């Protein structure tokens, strides 16, 4: 699949970062000039501007000053750089909070926040929505046809919730629309429990540590509401932009698995996805986990954007300044981090930040231009190398993933699991478990799409659903049909316990997936951290820990059994032939070894295309498919040489050029990028037989 360039007229990959020229207005003759020279040297073609510029654009209520922004836009255009132009709603000027206190949030303890920080605004406040729309309209009127305008960067890292009276009222309206009557709400929330029956929607208050904080229905619906209100705010923000500049895409920068917004739902209203990537590289063997974890986050963000190319909107060229330990990237790791984004489907490498600010908290955060203002620094040299690599790989832009395996990560499910009173109360380990399944799928040589329960399953041959505790309406049936029609599903313990209202399934877990899985789960054993059991499969023992479900086969066959305890010998790993497909069930939490072996087995059974190389532990792989060619990325996440064997003949795109096949050595943190014709004589694309 080939997509058009994200910024019209800019084919190829984007390279750039967050740029705050308004911090240097008094030195623009030197600093701005230097900025442009450095951007050119580093092969930078986009800069994100205006993200936190509200107080410079509207210094007092209704008084606008675009003069400096005019100059910046003209300067970018003159230098062939596209602006990723932001709406400034991520941080408001003090005068706005002073004049309209309702724009500031009220926290869950019902404390009205004072002016401060950023991202501290109410998503409901009509005043805030109006002020944002007004300034956005003016930006679109002024720059909508400016040659520098490339993209709209909407706000910054939306998140959190607000418990003000306006939000309470909007929440009640949300509940009325969902349930129709208070009796229906009482029934759905099981409110006869603890005498919780409401007689009016007016009695409902958002969850609070000083009030109701244990009602499952209330909590889940508050999270749904806060997420929906954020998405509504986004939609409102973009209205004037959509009206005045319908051809300029809008995107907001996301934070991978941030809990407060259902990113898949937000993705449905965005033109594409973008996200801020801050992996904790350490320069050691442990970076293999970091590499796999960041690949998961990239693949998740690609899924949020509907599998189209996305943008890595932020990343640090060296250390950040806010992690507990802010270690430098080891030489070569910036290139690895950057090309990994491209490998997973990003069409950009963008940094926070372009120039280090002189003051305030981000003065020591990594940047393209350091306080020393030199090009001969290690970081500048390395990011110039990234810029060159991106130019060399420009043909990759617009190509997309064509995975046949999908892994489900679902926000509603994660919210329900976080609140649920069972197993390990404080940490059910959902995200970690999903990442572990991702690691297993990747180690089995598969390209993986990360999707949620609302996604269309028909493009896939294999769907993995780890800890699918809450089943969204219709999903059980869709997954069942998927298997009936020949798909392979992999389910785990703690699946199909509750429906969309957090009401338990009667007649045996995994509820609506009982038939397809061919098992029923009788009890869930939660182990202490030091406890261990094992799953015995094909004469091998694989560690089982944390959660062991005691299950019974109905139509399924037992493949593996528990090794010890009172359920020793009972099924722990099962397979069910169902319709034209298969369903596997893993009853206990286990490590990557079993997951890799199982996904390998399932992939062989289902005849899934596998990455055409033999790679050792620590080498990541990823595929993008373009119009005529398929691109293969191999990434060494380790500080040592890695020996890989290519199973075909390819055209090398990076680092060298020319034909390549057979055994290869990837240096520490090294990346190899290959191409093969989709319908050619050389190799062909296993993804397009």
Q: How far is the CB of 234 from ligand GLA (least distance, A)?
A: 16
Q: Closer to ligand GLA at the Cβ: 276 or 299?
A: 276
Residue 164's binding partner among ligand GLA, Zn ion, none (Cβ under 5 to 8 angstroms by kind) is Zn ion
Structure tokens at 591: 């490590």
Residue 297 binds ligand GLA (CB under 6 A): no
Q: What's the gap between Cα 98 and its chain centre?
A: 35
Residue 91 binds ligand GLA (CB under 6 A): no
CA dist 191 and 451 (Å) reads 33
Q: What's the gap between Cα 251 and its chain centre?
A: 14
Q: Closer to ligand GLA at the Cβ: 326 or 392?
A: 326
Residue 124's binding partner among ligand GLA, Zn ion, none (Cβ under 5 to 8 angstroms by kind) is Zn ion
Largest CA distance in the chain: 77
Interface with Zn ion: number of residues (CB under 5 A): 6
CA dist 368 and 550 (Å) reads 55
CA dist 265 and 270 (Å) reads 9
CA dist 205 and 406 (Å) reads 38
Residue 156 binds ligand GLA (CB under 6 A): yes
Q: How far is the CB of 320 from ligand GLA (least distance, A)?
A: 5
Residue 122's binding partner among ligand GLA, Zn ion, none (Cβ under 5 to 8 angstroms by kind) is Zn ion
Strands (E), 145-207: 149-153
Residue 294 binds ligand GLA (CB under 6 A): no
Q: Closer to Zn ion at the Cβ: 124 or 136?
A: 124
Q: How far is the CB of 117 from ligand GLA (least distance, A)?
A: 11
The single residue of 157, 412, 575, 676 carrying the catalytic annotation is 157
- CB atoms under 10 Å from CB of 507, counted, come to 7
Residue 124 binds Zn ion (CB under 5 A): yes
Residue 611 binds ligand GLA (CB under 6 A): no
Strands (E), 175-279: 250-251, 253-254, 274-277
Q: How many CA atoms lie within 13 A of 643 on its CB side?
A: 1
Q: How far is the CB of 124 from Zn ion (least distance, A)?
A: 5
- CA angle, residues 67, 350, 342, in degrees to nearest 5: 150
Residue 120 binds Zn ion (CB under 5 A): no
Cβ 559 vs Cβ 464: under 8 Å: no
Footprint of ligand GLA on residues 299-328 (CB under 6 A)? Answer: 314, 320, 322
Residue 193's binding partner among ligand GLA, Zn ion, none (Cβ under 5 to 8 angstroms by kind) is none
Catalytic: 173?
Answer: no
Give helix then strand counts, H and E, for the chain.
17, 26
- CB atoms under 10 Å from CB of 181, counted, come to 10
Residue 352 binds ligand GLA (CB under 6 A): yes
Q: Closer to ligand GLA at the Cβ: 102 or 157?
A: 157
Q: How far is the CB of 388 from ligand GLA (least distance, A)?
A: 25
Q: How far is the CB of 156 from ligand GLA (least distance, A)?
A: 5
CA dist 51 and 153 (Å) reads 8
Cβ-Cβ contacts under 8 Å for 289 (sequence gap 6 or more):
none
Q: How far is the CB of 166 from Zn ion (least distance, A)?
A: 5
Radius of gyration of the chain (CA): 26
Identify the three-state secondary structure at position 97. Answer: helix
Residue 226 binds Zn ion (CB under 5 A): no
Stretch that binds Zn ion, among 34-42, 155-163, 255-263, 588-596 (CB under 5 A): 155-163
Per-residue binding string, ligand GLA, 233-272, x by CB under 6 A, is: ----------------------------------------
HEC assignment per residue over 434-484: HHHHHHHHHHCCCCEEEECCCCCCCCCCEEEECCCCECCCCHHHHHHHHHH
Q: Residue 117: phi, psi to the nearest 5?
A: 55, -145
Residue 368 binds ligand GLA (CB under 6 A): no
Residue 274 binds ligand GLA (CB under 6 A): no
Residue 162 binds Zn ion (CB under 5 A): yes
Residue 164 binds Zn ion (CB under 5 A): yes
Interface with ligand GLA: number of residues (CB under 6 A): 10
Cβ-Cβ contacts under 8 Å for 474 (sequence gap 6 or more):
none
Residue 352's binding partner among ligand GLA, Zn ion, none (Cβ under 5 to 8 angstroms by kind) is ligand GLA
Cβ 306 vs Cβ 343: under 8 Å: no
Stretch that binds Zn ion, among 121-129, 296-304, 645-653, 663-671 (CB under 5 A): 121-129
Residue 276 binds ligand GLA (CB under 6 A): yes
- CB atoms under 10 Å from CB of 626, counted, come to 18
Applying CB under 6 A, among 35, 58, 157, 501 the residue interacting with ligand GLA is 157
Which DSSP category does 369 fall into?
A: B
Residue 619 binds Zn ion (CB under 5 A): no
Q: How far is the CB of 58 from Zn ion (least distance, A)?
A: 22
The single residue of 58, 102, 237, 314 carrying the catalytic annotation is 314
Distances (CA, A) of 275 to 7, 15, 305, 631: 17, 14, 10, 22
Q: How far is the CB of 48 from ligand GLA (least distance, A)?
A: 10
Catalytic: 515?
Answer: no
Q: Closer to ligand GLA at the Cβ: 58 or 314?
A: 314
Q: Phi/psi zone of residue 50: left (φ > 0), alpha (ψ -120 to 50 degrees), beta? A: left
Q: Residue 453: phi, psi to the nearest 5?
A: -70, -10
Residue 54 binds ligand GLA (CB under 6 A): no
Q: Which residues of this chain interact with ligand GLA, rule CB under 6 A?
A: 156-157, 276, 278, 314, 320, 322, 352, 362, 365
The residues that are catalytic are 157, 314
Q: Which residues of this chain interact with Zn ion, rule CB under 5 A?
A: 122, 124, 162, 164, 166-167
């Amino acid at each position: 699949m080939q997509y058009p360039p994200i910024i019209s007229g800019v084919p190829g990959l984007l390279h750039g970062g967050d740029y705050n020229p308004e911090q240097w207005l008094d030195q623009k003759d030197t600093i701005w000039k230097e900025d442009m020279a450095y951007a050119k040297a580093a092969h930078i073609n986009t800069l994100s501007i205006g993200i936190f510029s509200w107080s410079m654009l509207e210094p007092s209520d209704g008084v606008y000053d675009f003069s400096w922004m005019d100059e910046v836009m003209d300067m970018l255009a003159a230098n062939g750089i596209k602006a990723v132009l932001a709406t400034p709603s991520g941080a408001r000027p003090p005068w706005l909070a002073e004049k309209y206190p309702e724009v500031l949030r009220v926290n869950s303890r019902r404390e009205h926040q004072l002016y401060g920080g950023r991202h501290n605004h109410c998503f409901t406040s009509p005043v805030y929505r109006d002020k944002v729309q007004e300034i956005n309209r003016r930006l679109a009127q002024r720059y909508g046809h400016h040659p520098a305008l490339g993209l709209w960067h909407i706000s910054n890292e939306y998140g959190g919730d607000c418990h003000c009276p306006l939000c309470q009222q909007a929440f009640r309206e949300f509940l009325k629309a969902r349930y129709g009557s208070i009796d229906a709400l009482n029934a759905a929330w099981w409110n006869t429990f603890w005498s919780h029956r409401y007689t009016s929607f007016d009695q409902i208050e958002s969850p609070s540590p000083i009030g109701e904080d244990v009602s499952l229905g209330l909590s889940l619906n508050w999270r749904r509401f806060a997420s929906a209100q954020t998405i509504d705010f986004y939609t409102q923000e973009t209205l004037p932009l959509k009206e005045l500049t319908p051809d300029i895409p809008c995107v907001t920068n996301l934070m991978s698995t941030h809990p407060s917004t259902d990113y898949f739902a937000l993705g449905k209203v965005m033109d594409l996805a973008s996200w801020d990537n801050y992996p904790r590289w350490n320069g050691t063997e442990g970076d293999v986990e970091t590499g796999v974890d960041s690949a998961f986050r990239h693949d998740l963000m690609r899924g949020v954007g509907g599998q189209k190319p996305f943008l890595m909107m932020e990343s640090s060229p060296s250390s950040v300044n806010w992690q507990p330990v802010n270690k430098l990237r080891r030489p070569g790791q910036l290139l690895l981090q950057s090309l990994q984004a491209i490998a997973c489907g990003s069409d950009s490498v963008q940094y926070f930040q372009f120039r280090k600010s002189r003051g305030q908290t981000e003065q020591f955060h990594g940047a393209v231009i350091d306080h020393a203002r030199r090009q001969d620094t290690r970081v500048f040299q390395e990011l110039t190398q990234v810029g060159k690599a991106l130019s060399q790989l420009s043909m990759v832009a617009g190509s997309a993933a064509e995975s046949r395996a999908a892994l489900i990560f679902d926000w509603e499910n994660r919210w329900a699991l976080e609140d649920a009173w069972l197993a390990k109360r404080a940490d059910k380990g959902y995200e970690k478990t999903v990442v572990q399944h991702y690691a297993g799928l990747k180690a089995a040589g598969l390209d993986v799409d990360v999707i949620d329960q609302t996604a269309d399953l028909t493009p896939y041959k294999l769907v993995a659903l780890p800890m699918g505790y809450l089943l969204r309406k219709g999903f059980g049936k869709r997954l069942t049909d998927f298997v009936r029609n020949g798909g392979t599903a992999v389910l785990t313990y703690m699946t199909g316990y509750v429906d969309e209202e957090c009401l338990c399934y009667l007649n045996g877990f995994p509820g609506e997936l009982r038939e397809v899985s061919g098992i029923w789960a009788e009890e869930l054993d939660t182990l202490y951290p030091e406890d261990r059991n094992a799953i015995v499969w094909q004469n091998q023992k694989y560690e089982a820990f944390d959660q062991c479900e005691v299950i019974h086969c109905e139509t399924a066959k037992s493949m593996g059994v528990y090794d010890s305890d009172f359920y020793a010998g009972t099924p722990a790993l099962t397979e069910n032939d169902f319709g034209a497909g298969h369903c596997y069930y893993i009853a206990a939490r286990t490590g990557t070894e079993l997951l890799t072996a199982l996904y390998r087995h399932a992939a062989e059974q289902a005849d899934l295309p596998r990455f055409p190389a033999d790679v050792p532990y620590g080498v990541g792989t990823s595929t993008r498919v373009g119009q005529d060619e398929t691109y293969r990325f191999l990434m060494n996440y380790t500080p040592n040489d890695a020996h890989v064997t290519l199973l075909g003949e390819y055209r090398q795109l990076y680092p060298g050029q020319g034909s390549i096949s057979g055994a290869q050595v990837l240096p520490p943190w090294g990346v190899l990028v290959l191409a093969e014709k989709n319908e050619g004589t050389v190799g062909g694309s296993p993804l397009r037989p």
